[in-house]
Chains A and B, each alone.
Chain A
């Protein structure tokens, strides 16, 4: 008896405990991360105007995704794990975005007398 209280559907999932990521995958991810780090550094010295921060952050997001999916095995993980990661990112965005709504719109409505 498995005694885990999960619905029958779970039994169809592969045994996540035994999934081993092949070393070449790790090395490929590693190489990508290193290259992208130095790309970020070099690109920052090039004047792209307001785009600089977006480029830097986009690369950072991509690098972080590689770490999450491969080094942290989320790509091979359960649906629940993916949901938890998604929830974390969503809530972070919520925090940033909703506060920025205040910051961005403060100047829209003038203060009486100014």
Chain B
């Protein structure tokens, strides 16, 4: 039986995908949605600790943070943010396609999401490499130099900025990589006709996760890339 036929058969079955301890699909879907949101809540608090550290140290060392932030590529960051927002759109469209039972469109949108996510990670890899070359990775090889090549004024706190930069974007990137893996599995399963308009909960739940990862970046971009870009100079 080919994938298309299998999917049509599952479309007719209202118990398709229903686990034994649930009474009906609505209860199951509701439970999954609450479960996923509760998990995202934990993620909010997880990243929250990092945001707290960021806020405190930015408040205490504004000059060092501004100088370090200016070392990131503003327009590349903005472009990358755009890429991620596009992937959010394609993910939302994927969920939309699943809800309408459109297998091919679902696969298409998931693949697009994957590609856009890949582009994002590729750009991040480029940025990380660039920082490695410029000795901006905290640790034994860290060197802080200003434009003229002289040692910069506040190496310790500049390094602190970069620790936060790598900590926060690294954690974000690892969430994306995990998402990547799950997305691959979902693409294969979608192709195989596993999801119907009556049951496509994994797609929806993954969508929530993906959007959340996007939201984290929506905050990371201004906080890490946009400190004192007007060149005013902070003290």
Contacts and interface: CB of A to CB of B under 8 A. Distances in A.
Let me know if chains A and B touch directly in the complex, using CB atoms closer than 8 Å.
yes
Interface of A: 1-4, 15-18, 20-21, 23, 26-27, 30, 33-34, 37-38, 40-41, 44-49, 52-53, 56-57, 59-60, 63-64, 67-68, 70-72, 77-78, 80-81, 84-85, 87-89, 91-92, 95-96, 99-100, 103
Contacts of A27: 89
Contact of A52 (B26, B40, B230): B230
B44 A88 contact: yes
Contact of B232 (A49, A81, A88): A49
Interface string B209-235: 001101100110111001111111000
Interface of B: 23-27, 29-30, 33-34, 37-38, 40-41, 44-45, 48-49, 51-52, 55-56, 59, 74-75, 77-78, 81-82, 85-86, 88-89, 91-93, 96, 99-100, 207-208, 211-212, 214-215, 218-219, 221-223, 226-232
Nearest to A99: B52
Nearest to B48: A92
Name the prevailing secondary structure of the B interface residues: helix
A17 B26 contact: yes
B203 to A, nearest CB: 13
Contacts of A17: 25-26, 29-30
Given A44-B74, A44-B230, A47-B232, A67 B215 contact: yes
Contact of A40 (B23, B34, B221, B231): B221
